[in-house]
Chain A
Amino acid sequence: MTRHLLKLLWNRRSANALVGLEVLVAFLVLFAVLAAAAHYWDYYRRPLGFDPTDVWAVEIEAGTDMAEPSALNPAVARFLPELRSMEPVVDAAATIWAPYRQAGWTTTWSVGERSSDVRLFNGSDTLDRVLGMELLRGRWFGPEDDGSGRTPMVVNEAFVDALVDDGDGLGQVIVDEDRNPLPGGGEELVRRERVIVGVVEEFRPKGELQKPEPSAILRPRLEGELSNDDYLSALLLKMRPGTPATIEQTVNDRLLSMAPEFSFRLQPLEAARTEYLQRLTPLLVPALIAAFLLLMVALGLTGVLWQAVTQRIRELGLRRAKGATLARIRRQILAETLLLTLAATTLGGLLVLQLPFTGWFPQLRPAVLIPALVLATAVTALLTSLAALYPSWLATRVEPAEALRWE
């Protein structure tokens, strides 16, 4: 039977080619949408590493350019105790950027043979309490690290996997050397040492859709000899639950009275999170368009198969006259459609499997590619069989006598 069907399919290849092309393109569209969905879902469901509940961000601006740590960090050192003393503030910390702000600082670090891109973030001693971060092992950095000559840092598991050979990573020292050009020529060798004091599962301050990758939170210096590594631009305040938004202005006024030369921008992290997710909603537009395209394809295929059925009434009638049952005819049409779908999706699958080798879409990791491929195949098959159902029902209603009369 299968051989017979394959032969039919082959003999009608010119008529089938365009229908096959349509199924193929529909499959590719479906795959693209599902792969994007799988990609975002895979990121979204992973831990964020912090809890934005009741945390307010205060972004500090000085002029138009980045505020130099030498100007800002001593002020931050004054702000933090002052803010902690305010009534609804539970705790306060300073960070390089407020969470959900789309800014980044990346570098490449090496330990022995291993090398990896690392995402860096500056956070002060109390950041773990303000953001409700839980350590898997080790401790958060604090005043006990003063004067050690090494910058303490808390890293995520991916960091340990990427850069630490064996062990839990605690105590691992990372050295990087940088040549800085000097004004008037020549170079200066800058050597920095950093040490892992704690490990968290994950930390993705840019938000739910940030790529999980090796990350480190470094301890910035607030006073003394400061460099660009100590850059800070935001304060985070853990507020008592249910603090009314009207307090924002009180906090803003207090900060302005302490440092009128700066500007402050207050926003609850939960509001920033809502805005962040809202900015992503336009991503739904392609999905919506794809859904309409697929509906159109399903309707179009129904029409095409319908016509093919009426065209083949004679052949089908002949088969019935020769004793084929109703169910068998229906099965034949379904099987032919599915066979065509199988051919188109196999070709589509082969095309899609080439994509990772092109390197154009690094997002197409196995966790995205495989579910998207399987789902796209299944949905395409479902769509085409739905489109075949009505015509196949139509075919079974043809009386053999009537069909043969056409002969």
Chain B
Amino acid sequence: MLTNYLKLALKVLARRPFFTFVSLFGISFTLAVLVTATAVLDHAFGPLAPEVHRERTLFLDYLILEGERSQRSGSPGWVFLERYVRDLPGVEEMSVYSEPRRVFAYQTGEKSGLQLKRTDAAYWRILAFDFLEGGPLAEADVDGGAPVAVINETTRDRLFPDGTALDREVLVEGQAFRVVGVVADVSQLRTEPYADLWVPLTATKTSQWMEEFHGDLHAMLLAESREAFGPLRAELAARLAAADVPQPERFDRMLAYALEPFEIASREIVGSDDDGRPATRELQALLVGALLLFLLLPSVNLINVNTSRILERAPEIGVRKAFGASCHDLLGQFLLENLVLTLVGGALGLLLSVFAVEAVAATGWIRYADLQVNLRVFAWGVCFMVLFALLSGLYPAWRMARLDPADILRGRSL
């Protein structure tokens, strides 16, 4: 029975090439867009190197001071992090590092724009960078503010086109940094590890940053396990509730949260509630809403094409009903046909998305993007396919199953 239907499905598709082309075009294009979008999301949020411990890492990148009439928010500074975030329970390792800052290096007679990040030594223990040459910034470098740097591959090739970079100098903003390591490029979407040039946290012109409450620093907390998140967050909240808020004449409370990357993205894209908590649900709703909205037009289009295709086969439906097919049998048959069509279109779509993903990577919109249609993305693609097949197949199949066989066989439906 199944083989019979499958045979028929393929024959029907081959008989009306135009309809088949329209359907396949819609399905493969829709899936290519979805798979490409998923690849970008996976690239931003998946557990990829160097963030190999991402599932048990939290970040603190935002501090709000709030009073009745004033509010100050932004990245926390050294004072805040040392006073309230250091030594939280369940934390295996804590790193403090700066936001990336744009600097220019004038070398080889050319100007190179670089993203500079200042880090401590723990940063290199939490993140598993892929070292091509040398090694990370050492504890002693950070303690002493040594003028040393780790650069990425692209920067090495730009600044030192003639070969190794180790022990050579990068000159930025009047400071000369000796290269101690070269790492593989990390994508811009991985905001915490991303940079072109990493130098010790302490290698600054002044030590003003060590007195700042608000500043340009982030904290990365590697918890022992995900189960440690709860107590860790509770302790942080308790510390902030008991803290002496700076400038008490202006501010009366202090808000900061240790967040996962998706929560940080929620705050940046959607916003936060009155207590500064990220609108994670809203971002999820937004993504699902966007997905459904995007699927609406291709689905309606495919429903219409499918309905037309089915009406054309009215005599066949009549015959099958006359010879004993129930509505359920027919519903199954046409859903199966639609699934075959969707699978063929989906396979084409996956193929297409490989090119689309490469095209997105080639635009350079995302620096060092290493986008891939990997197994996880592929699995999502298959889920989308089945969803799409159901969305676009149910109504036409239902409509067809309800056609009156007596009408059809008399030719009255014409």
Contact = CB atoms under 8 A, between A and B. Distances in A.
The answer to whether A and B touch directly, with their CB atoms under 8 angstroms apart, is yes
Interface of A: 18-19, 21-22, 25-26, 29, 61-65, 181-185, 245-246, 248-249, 252-253, 256, 260-267, 281-282, 289, 292-293, 295-297, 299-304, 306-308, 310-314, 406
Nearest to B103: A265
B206 to A, nearest CB: 6
Nearest to A64: B216
Interface in B185-209: 204-206, 208-209
A64 B247 CA distance: 20
A261 B29 contact: no
A191 B15 CA distance: 83
A307 B308 contact: yes
A181 B249 CA distance: 7
Given A185-B249, A304-B304, A263 B297 contact: no
22 contacts: A18-B395, A19-B304, A21-B300, A22-B304, A25-B297, A26-B297, A63-B204, A64-B98, A184-B249, A245-B111, A248-B111, A262-B205, A263-B103, A265-B103, A265-B173, A266-B104, A281-B365, A292-B33, A303-B18, A303-B305, A306-B308, A314-B414
Contact of A260 (B69, B205, B212, B294): B205
Contact of A64 (B29, B106, B208, B294): B208
Interface stretch (B19-27, B128-136, B227-235): B19-27
Interface residues of B, number: 52
A65 B301 contact: no
B26 A300 contact: yes
Interface string B322-347: 00000000000000000000000000
B249 A22 contact: no
A99 B298 CA distance: 43
Interface in B24-51: 25-26, 29, 33
Given A182-B249, A312-B414, 6 more contacts: A26-B297, A29-B297, A63-B208, A246-B109, A293-B298, A301-B304
A254 B324 CA distance: 93
A22 B301 contact: yes
B116 to A, nearest CB: 10
Contacts of B414: 311-314, 406
Given A26-B297, A249-B106, A300-B302, A181 B250 contact: yes
Closest 9 CB pairs of A and B: A307-B308, A263-B173, A63-B208, A300-B301, A64-B216, A249-B106, A256-B174, A299-B22, A22-B300
Contacts of A304: 304-305, 307-308
B303 interface: yes
Give the dominant DSSP class at A's interface: helix
Given A248-B111, A252-B106, A263-B173, A307 B312 contact: yes
Given A63-B209, A281-B365, A307-B311, A25 B300 contact: yes
Nearest to B207: A63
B106 A248 contact: yes
A249 to B, nearest CB: 4
B315 to A, nearest CB: 12
B208 A308 contact: no
Given A260-B205, A307-B309, A64 B212 contact: yes
B411 interface: yes
A290 B387 CA distance: 21
B33 A289 contact: yes
Contacts of A185: 249
Contacts of B363: 281
B25 A303 contact: no
Given A22-B304, A181-B249, A265-B103, A303 B297 contact: no
Interface of B: 18-19, 21-22, 25-26, 29, 33, 69, 77, 98, 101-104, 106, 109, 111, 173-174, 204-206, 208-209, 212, 214-216, 247, 249-250, 294, 296-298, 300-305, 307-309, 311-312, 363, 365, 395, 411, 414
Contacts of A21: 300
A310 B312 contact: yes
A230 B251 CA distance: 24
Contacts of A64: 77, 98, 208-209, 212, 215-216
Nearest to B175: A263
B209 A303 contact: no
A307 B313 CA distance: 11
A65 B80 CA distance: 14
Contacts of B214: 65
Select the residue from A19, A63, A267 with max chain B CB neighbours within 10 A: A63
A148 to B, nearest CB: 31
A265 B174 CA distance: 11
A228 to B, nearest CB: 13
A64 B300 CA distance: 53
A63 B25 contact: no
B291 to A, nearest CB: 13
Contacts of A61: 101
A306 B250 CA distance: 71
Contacts of A261: 205-206
Contacts of A248: 104, 106, 111
A265 B301 contact: no
Select the residue from B18, B301, B309, B363 with max chain A CB neighbours within 10 A: B301
Select the residue from B69, B205, B209 with max chain A CB neighbours within 10 A: B205
A22 B204 CA distance: 60
A311 B297 CA distance: 25
B209 A18 contact: no
Nearest to A15: B307
Nearest to B174: A256
Contacts of B304: 18-19, 22, 300-301, 303-304
Nearest to B360: A285
Contact of A300 (B22, B206, B395): B22
Nearest to B110: A245
Nearest to B214: A65
Contact of B19 (A252, A264, A301, A303): A303
